[in-house]
A and B are shown apart, each in its own frame.
Chain A
Amino acid sequence: MCGIVGLFLKDRSLEPKLGAMLSEMLVSLSDRGPDSAGIAIYGEERDGFGKITVQSPEPGKDFRALEADLSGETGVPVKVTVRSTHAVIELPLDRIEEARSALARLRPGMRIMGTGQVVEIYKEVGRPEEVADRFALAGMRGSHGIGHTRMATESAVTTMGAHPFSTGADQCLVHNGSLSNHNNVRRELVREGMTFETENDTEVAAAYLTSQMAHGKDLGASLEGALEDLDGFFTFVVGTRNGFGVVRDPIACKPAVLAETDQYVAFGSEYRALAGLPGIDQAKVWEPEPSTVYFWEH
């Protein structure tokens, strides 16, 4: 099981509604994955600034005075916006790596969900509706976003085991399925110098794409590579800073529906997730073909 949704806006006038549209899509697939839920949202971009999304099991303790502590440690002003168990730290883009290591020293209990210029990642254990409410997803704006409702199979029901997985700046991936060669691929990526937070198969797929893109491939070519190198069942939906991609394995038993209008491209594990979108009756609606890469870029 598991449910995936994705929304890539072409019409900028819909950007203030992205969070509302995406959370409605996510909640409609609750019975495909009641264990946990998550969303990656490509929000506002400030020139020269980046974002680190962090999560804490003790938000009251960890987030208090985080702004002052991190500013003191890095010597630059930072802005912290708290949403429940997550916080988004905004700071100059060129200080992200430095801030990452500072955070490990200052708040060892805190975990980094993702970094980049635009992406913010929120994920927690619980029913999708609860997760969406907890982070007030409906109020978020952005250009594109992806979401996931999880029915765990390959690893434990934990915050870190929830999707999306982000293994590179502004990159994220959600997955319906299970990979069978993830241990091998993980070992190869570790040899390249990549590090992993979990035992989860999906994190390996995300890291694989990050590695492909780090070697200079674009999103489309990286997804073509995934068809060659990853074995198992998968429907992946992937986000990058300005792109949105979909690919299914050759057997394609994990369901997938795409819809496209002049205003948006939308993905749902089922049509149910798309039924409430504006203009869906006139949209081009189709099932992505197996072993075929689809991607859109702004």
Chain B
Amino acid sequence: MHAPNLAEASYTQVVDLSKTSVRELNQALHDLHPGSNHTAWDVLNPGGNHALAAGVEQPVGIDVRGSVGYYCGGMNQNAAITIHGSAGPGVGENMMSGSIVVKGDASQYAGATGRGGLLVIEGNASSRCGISMKGIDIVVFGNIGHMSAFMAQSGNLVVLGDAGDALGDSIYEARLFVRGAVKSLGADCIAKEMRPEHLTLLQDLLDRSGVRGVKPEEFKRYGSARQLYNFNIDNADAY
């Protein structure tokens, strides 16, 4: 007999990586079709393994219970991934949409080349955070390391703490918002005026990331001086 009020939790797919391979997990996530009932996934014992939940296309929730290695959630589309631990290099690399929340710290090049979606790092991110970002939004509650947002093309990088050396080196049209100190700015990256539309944008990003008690006015904005690359105002809409 059908049980209509079955607790939602009973639909959660539990995958224990001490018993199942990463390949099997990822294949199961890739095999999901639109409208599948398997909308909640719990991944146990990740053990620092690589490429967990990379390339997921469906709007499912994935909770990873522990720390992960390289490229977790890479190329993500639509999925909402929460890592209850720290992430190795390249978390959310080339993410397209959806969201990834890292409860701990993230290693190098978090969100690299990301095209869309929201990456939230509740701890610190190390070097090259948001390198070559192309539309992703990244919100870091702690600090970010050196060479972050290198050649960043578009999207928003929000840092509640401090930024390391050479922030935004060779930046294109990404927006960088830093609340703390910036150790140094990279080539062609400058502090910019915070206009009303930036305050609105920032408030929305803080709200969506679950940040409370922090005001957009506490941040400084940084971006391109447009001296290093050939900026043409007619192309401004493309960014």
Chains A and B form a bound pair: yes
Chain A residues near B (Cβ < 8 Å): 251-253, 255, 257, 270-276, 285-287, 290
Assess whether B127 is in contact with A290, with CB atoms less than 8 Å apart. yes
Chain B residue contacts of A255, Cβ below 8 A:
88-89, 107-108
Chain B residue contacts of A275, Cβ below 8 A:
47-48, 67
How long is the Cα–Cα vector from A271 to B107 in the complex, in angstroms? 10
How long is the Cα–Cα vector from A257 to B126 in the complex, in angstroms? 12
How long is the Cα–Cα vector from A189 to B105 in the complex, in angstroms? 41
Is B49 positioned at the interface, with any CB of A under 8 Å from its CB?
yes
Min C-beta distance of B150 to chain A, whole Å: 12
Question: Which residue in chain B gives the minimum CB-CB distance to A31?
Answer: B50
Assess whether A286 is in contact with B108, with CB atoms less than 8 Å apart. no
Min C-beta distance of B98 to chain A, whole Å: 24
Assess whether A285 is in contact with B86, with CB atoms less than 8 Å apart. yes
Secondary structure class of chain B's binding surface, majority of residues = loop
**In the complex, which of the residues A271, A272, A290 contacts B146, with contact meaning CB atoms closer than 8 Å?**
A290
Chain A residue contacts of B105, Cβ below 8 A:
286-287
Assess whether A271 is in contact with B67, with CB atoms less than 8 Å apart. yes
Tally A-B pairs: CB < 8 A.
43
Chain B residues near A (Cβ < 8 Å): 47-49, 67-70, 86, 88-89, 105, 107-108, 126-127, 145-147
Q: A252-B145, A255-B88, A290-B127 given; name 12 further pairs at CB < 8 Å.
A: A251-B147, A252-B146, A255-B107, A270-B88, A271-B48, A271-B68, A271-B69, A271-B88, A276-B47, A287-B105, A290-B145, A290-B146
How long is the Cα–Cα vector from A271 to B126 in the complex, in angstroms? 15
Min C-beta distance of B21 to chain A, whole Å: 14
Assess whether A270 is in contact with B69, with CB atoms less than 8 Å apart. yes
**In the complex, which of the residues B47, B48, B69, B126 contacts A287, with contact meaning CB atoms closer than 8 Å?**
B126
Secondary structure class of chain A's binding surface, majority of residues = loop
How long is the Cα–Cα vector from A276 to B88 in the complex, in angstroms? 16
The residue in A252, A271, A273 that gathers the most chain B C-beta atoms within 10 A of its C-beta is A271
How long is the Cα–Cα vector from A252 to B67 in the complex, in angstroms? 21
How long is the Cα–Cα vector from A100 to B238 in the complex, in angstroms? 70
Question: Which residue in chain A gives the minimum CB-CB distance to B104?
Answer: A285
Which 3 A-B residue pairings sit nearest by Cβ, starting from the closest? A272-B48, A271-B48, A275-B47
Question: Which residue in chain B gives the minimum CB-CB distance to A254?
Answer: B108
Contacts A/B (CB < 8 Å), 24 sampled? A251-B147, A252-B108, A252-B126, A252-B127, A252-B145, A255-B107, A257-B107, A270-B69, A270-B70, A270-B88, A271-B68, A271-B86, A271-B88, A272-B47, A272-B48, A272-B49, A273-B48, A276-B47, A285-B67, A285-B86, A286-B105, A287-B105, A287-B107, A290-B127
How long is the Cα–Cα vector from A253 to B128 in the complex, in angstroms? 9
Min C-beta distance of A71 to chain B, whole Å: 49
Chain A residue contacts of B107, Cβ below 8 A:
255, 257, 287
Question: Which residue in chain B gives the minimum CB-CB distance to A250?
Answer: B146
Min C-beta distance of B179 to chain A, whole Å: 21
Min C-beta distance of A287 to chain B, whole Å: 5
Assess whether A272 is in contact with B69, with CB atoms less than 8 Å apart. yes
Min C-beta distance of A269 to chain B, whole Å: 10
Min C-beta distance of B165 to chain A, whole Å: 9
Min C-beta distance of B122 to chain A, whole Å: 15
Chain B residue contacts of A270, Cβ below 8 A:
48, 69-70, 88
Min C-beta distance of A158 to chain B, whole Å: 29
Chain A residue contacts of B126, Cβ below 8 A:
252, 287
How long is the Cα–Cα vector from A275 to B86 in the complex, in angstroms? 12
Min C-beta distance of A24 to chain B, whole Å: 12
Chain A residue contacts of B48, Cβ below 8 A:
270-275
Question: Which residue in chain A gives the minimum CB-CB distance to B67?
Answer: A271
Chain A residue contacts of B127, Cβ below 8 A:
251-253, 290
Chain A residue contacts of B146, Cβ below 8 A:
252, 290
How long is the Cα–Cα vector from A278 to B146 in the complex, in angstroms? 32
Assess whether A253 is in contact with B47, with CB atoms less than 8 Å apart. no
Min C-beta distance of B156 to chain A, whole Å: 24
Question: Which residue in chain B gives the minimum CB-CB distance to A281?
Answer: B66
Chain B residue contacts of A285, Cβ below 8 A:
67, 86
Min C-beta distance of A265 to chain B, whole Å: 18
How long is the Cα–Cα vector from A67 to B196 in the complex, in angstroms? 83
Chain B residue contacts of A290, Cβ below 8 A:
127, 145-146
Min C-beta distance of A39 to chain B, whole Å: 21
Chain A residue contacts of B89, Cβ below 8 A:
255
Assess whether B86 is in contact with A253, with CB atoms less than 8 Å apart. no
How long is the Cα–Cα vector from A272 to B86 in the complex, in angstroms? 12
How long is the Cα–Cα vector from A273 to B126 in the complex, in angstroms? 19
Chain A residue contacts of B47, Cβ below 8 A:
272, 275-276
Question: Which residue in chain A gives the minimum CB-CB distance to B109?
Answer: A253
